[in-house]
Structures are given as structure tokens and as C-alpha cells.
Amino acid sequence: MEALKRFMAYHHDPDLDFNVVQANWRKCAQVETASWVRTYYNEKEGMRYCVWLAPDEEELKNVFKEIGLTYESILPVEETLPDMWGERWEEHLIQEETADTLGF
């Protein structure tokens, strides 16, 4: 299986009914070519930041096109956590190198 990369997609749809957003989330959960990990959102402002695992950015663009999702940007991202910078950071980095979950 091809290694998946982590991406952050930013969506800004202030006029989109939130029921439509939730219906789209049900569609996102069924995608097989990429994995939707989580979303941080502000319903009032119509802003969503979504974390995805995908082979590449083009695959995410295809997923969004098929579902009918608009987006402002898709960026490859890395992750850091508070425990990485405490006393156990070296242990965490070793575990991260051998994990197949990319920190999730």
C-alpha cells in the first residue's frame, strides 16, 4: 500500500447551510481513496479545517470534486504535540518513525 501523506484542507463557506456540511461529512466518511481524519470547525463563520490522509494532493482534489466540496487551500502538513517537547520527546520520535498511523 502506498504511504499516505497528511494534508490540511481549509474550507470557507459562510453561506452554506450547516445541514449540507453535515451531509458532506457523511460522504467524506465513505471515501476509500483517502482518509478523513478530523475536522475543526466554526459553524458561525462557516470555516472548517480538515485533516486528511491521502496519497497526494491531486487525490484530495478529486475527492472534493466528486463530493462537490469547495476549498480555499490544501496544504501538506506535519504534526507536533506538546509531549514531543517535554522529557519524552526522543521516545516519541522513535515511536513515530515505526508507527503506521502518522500520529493519529
| 97 found inside a domain | no
Q: Residues with Cβ < 8 Å from 44, sequence gap 6 or more?
A: none
Which of 53, 101, 103 shows the shortest CA–CA distance to 83?
103
- CATH value at residue 75: 3.30.70.3090
Dihedrals φ, ψ of 33, to 5°?
-90, -10
- What is the pLDDT tens value at each position of the chain, 104 positions in all? 468 999 999 999 999 999 999 999 999 999 999 999 999 999 999 999 999 999 999 999 999 999 999 999 999 999 887 766 777 777 777 777 787 665 55
| 95 found inside a domain | no
Which ranges of 4-102 would DSSP assign to H, the alpha helix? 18-28, 57-67, 89-98
- Look at residue 3 in the predicted model and tell me its pLDDT: 86
- Look at residue 51 in the predicted model and tell me its pLDDT: 97
- Look at residue 24 in the predicted model and tell me its pLDDT: 95
- Look at residue 104 in the predicted model and tell me its pLDDT: 52
Count how many domains the chain has: 1
CA dist., res. 69 & res. 5, Å (int): 20
> Could you list the residue range(s) of the whole structural domain that residue 42 is in?
5-79
